[in-house]
């Protein structure tokens, strides 16, 4: 499947969900199929091994926040993209392990496709083997940020936290990253296409 086909495929899934239908295994196979993007081929995600609640789906979600807001529920490992009509697109996430988590309200200051990853100095101190990437790790299938990253700023300052993809699909639903919010690679592409620069992000 070409990356340009993803919005069309998931529009069909979204329509079914809004009509009150559950997202079928076949629809998830389409959503999590292998895709080629910017010359990189993202492997298919073995969606049958992903717990059903962590698969991308439209859910009822009532909030006073305006559509376009992103709400991250770290306790339950969900990210919600608020939609009109009391709905939200819900994604499963992996969150920061104890001691590296973060909460608060921020804004999406930048969006990057196939971003460069630069490990922060404290991470390099903890893991000296990352020193070779002090100047930045080039984009690619092994890059920890995956195919997309949304950069969170607060008060004009970089929080150091990102919404990003991950090739480690088995980490979704767990607390094991160094603080950032990770999504399945196919999910971060979907979220990236929905979220605007300047969007409000609430992490709680």
Contacts of 71 (CB under 8 A, 6+ apart): 63, 65, 79, 80, 82, 88, 201, 202, 204
Three-state secondary-structure class, residue 199: coil
Integer Cα distance of 178 and 96 in angstroms: 5
Task: Identify whether 164 is a catalytic site residue.
Answer: yes
Residue that has been written with the tokens 């990352």 in this structure:
130
In degrees and rounded to multiples of 5, residue 137 shows phi and psi of -95, 130
28 labelled catalytic: no
Alpha-carbon gap, residue 58 to 89, rounded angstroms: 4
**Rounded-to-integer distance, Cα 131 and Cα 175, Å:** 24
Give the integer Cα–Cα distance in Å for 135 and 26: 42
Q: What angle do CA 141, 144, 147 make, to 5 degrees?
A: 50
CA 3, CA 126: separation in Å to the nearest integer?
A: 37
Catalytic, out of 21, 28, 62, 164? 164
Return the active site residues: 164, 180
């Amino acid at each position: 499947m070409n990356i340009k086909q993803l919005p069309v495929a998931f529009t069909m899934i979204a329509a079914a969900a809004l009509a009150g239908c559950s997202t079928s295994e076949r629809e998830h196979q389409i959503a999590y199929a292998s895709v080629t993007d910017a010359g990189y081929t993202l492997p298919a995600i073995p969606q049958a091994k992903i717990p059903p609640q962590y698969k991308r789906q439209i859910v009822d979600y009532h909030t006073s926040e305006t559509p376009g807001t992103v709400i991250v529920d770290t306790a339950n490992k969900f990210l919600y993209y608020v939609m009109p009509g009391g709905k939200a697109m819900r994604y499963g996430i992996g969150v920061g392990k104890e001691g590296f988590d973060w909460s608060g309200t921020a804004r999406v200051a930048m969006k990057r496709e196939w971003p460069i990853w630069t490990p922060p100095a404290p991470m390099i101190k903890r893991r000296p083997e990352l020193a070779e990437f002090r100047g930045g790790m080039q984009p690619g299938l092994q890059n920890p940020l995956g195919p997309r990253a949304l950069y969170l700023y607060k008060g004009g300052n970089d929080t150091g936290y990102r919404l990003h993809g991950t090739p480690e699909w088995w980490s979704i639903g767990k607390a094991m990253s160094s603080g950032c919010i990770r999504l399945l690679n196919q999910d971060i592409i979907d979220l990236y296409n929905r979220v605007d620069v300047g969007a409000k992000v609430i992490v709680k």
